[in-house]
């Protein structure tokens, strides 16, 4: 799908004197306490609108979970309203980034294409380095890597492709689908955060519950993953997603149900620490393969 340049932030106070993007980002980071004070209790549409107006090189990173689908719908509405007011042709203001791990459910892959088309949203798809199919990935790294070394798996299929996407597209800010009601590490979210790489992360629906999100989807005919109709609440790779045993369980209890204590896939962990650990393991694996080949 053809790409579009993210919405301009030239009218933002952070760019008022013609500041370059790096300077704008530094000013925003310095002003985070005030920004979060302003946005902590704001409606998702207000957080999204503020972000579109103020954050340079803004994208939406999404695996098309329910929250991501609502964000996509809300951005589409903002885009249409602004186009009507300006008299210009409508275009989706925030491009999408979809990390195809190669192990998504078919329903997720179908939704990604269907939703991007429905909203006429430009979508950039990234896969693990040098591989575009499960067979290619497993020829290189072996079968069921997630069982043998889950951290390395997460790095190869999610963390590295996301970082590559951000570098190639010069991404400086992203919308995420994280919410406080998801619990664990997400319970203390702020509206706007910055990670160790300097990437600004926006959590527009941080104050909504699963019920709030589900209600919005139903009332506004938002395209969503049909697996939710079977009882799933959070959908990731097929091998790490299961139906919650208890209907009253938390919405992410069906993720990594066999991995006690795991709550995140790696995208929201410390990138540099994760990268060092994963690359060390990958070097060791490569040396082991060479030794085996010489034996």
The residues assigned a catalytic role are 265
Residue 197 and residue 201: Cα distance in Å, rounded? 11
Residue 170 and residue 56: Cα distance in Å, rounded? 10
Residue 46 and residue 132: Cα distance in Å, rounded? 38
Please, are residues 129 and 114 in contact by the beta-carbon 8 Å criterion?
Answer: no
Widest Cα–Cα separation across the chain: 71
107 CB-side CA count, 13 A = 14
Long-range contacts of 275-279 (CB under 8 A, 24+ apart): 275/155, 275/159, 275/160, 275/163, 277/151, 278/151, 278/152, 278/155, 278/156, 278/159, 278/160
Query: Which 8-state DSSP code applies to residue 89?
Result: P
CA 13-18-23 angle, 5° bins: 75
Residue in 68, 112, 99, 92 with CA at minimum distance from that of residue 166: 99
Provide Rg for the chain, Cα atoms: 20
């Amino acid at each position: 799908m053809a790409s579009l340049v993210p919405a301009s932030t030239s009218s933002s106070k952070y760019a008022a004197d013609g500041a370059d993007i790096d300077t704008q980002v530094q000013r925003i980071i310095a002003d985070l306490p005030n920004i979060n004070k302003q946005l902590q209790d704001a409606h998702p549409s207000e957080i999204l609108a503020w972000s579109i107006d103020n954050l340079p090189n803004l994208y939406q990173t999404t695996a098309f979970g329910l929250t991501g689908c609502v964000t996509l719908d809300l951005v589409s509405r903002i885009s249409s309203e602004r186009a009507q007011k300006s008299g210009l042709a409508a275009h989706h203001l925030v491009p999408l980034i979809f990390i195809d791990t190669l192990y998504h459910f078919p329903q997720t892959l179908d939704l990604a294409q269907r939703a991007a088309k429905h909203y006429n949203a430009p979508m950039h798809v990234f896969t693990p380095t040098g591989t575009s199919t499960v067979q290619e990935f497993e020829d290189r790294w072996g079968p069921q890597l997630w069982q043998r070394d889950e951290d390395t798996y997460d790095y190869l299929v999610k963390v590295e492709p996301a970082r590559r996407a951000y570098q190639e597209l010069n991404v400086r800010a992203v919308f995420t689908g994280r919410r406080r009601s998801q619990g664990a590490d997400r319970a203390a979210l702020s509206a706007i955060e910055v990670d160790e790489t300097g990437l600004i992360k926006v959590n527009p629906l941080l104050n909504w519950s699963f019920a709030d999100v589900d209600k919005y989807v139903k009332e506004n005919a938002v395209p969503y993953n049909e697996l939710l109709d079977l009882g799933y609440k959070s959908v990731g790779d097929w091998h790490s997603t299961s139906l919650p045993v208890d209907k009253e369980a938390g919405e992410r209890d069906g993720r990594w149900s066999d991995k006690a204590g795991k709550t995140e896939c790696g995208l929201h962990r410390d990138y540099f620490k994760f990268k060092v650990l994963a690359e060390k393991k990958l070097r060791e694996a490569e040396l082991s393969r060479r030794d085996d080949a010489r034996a």
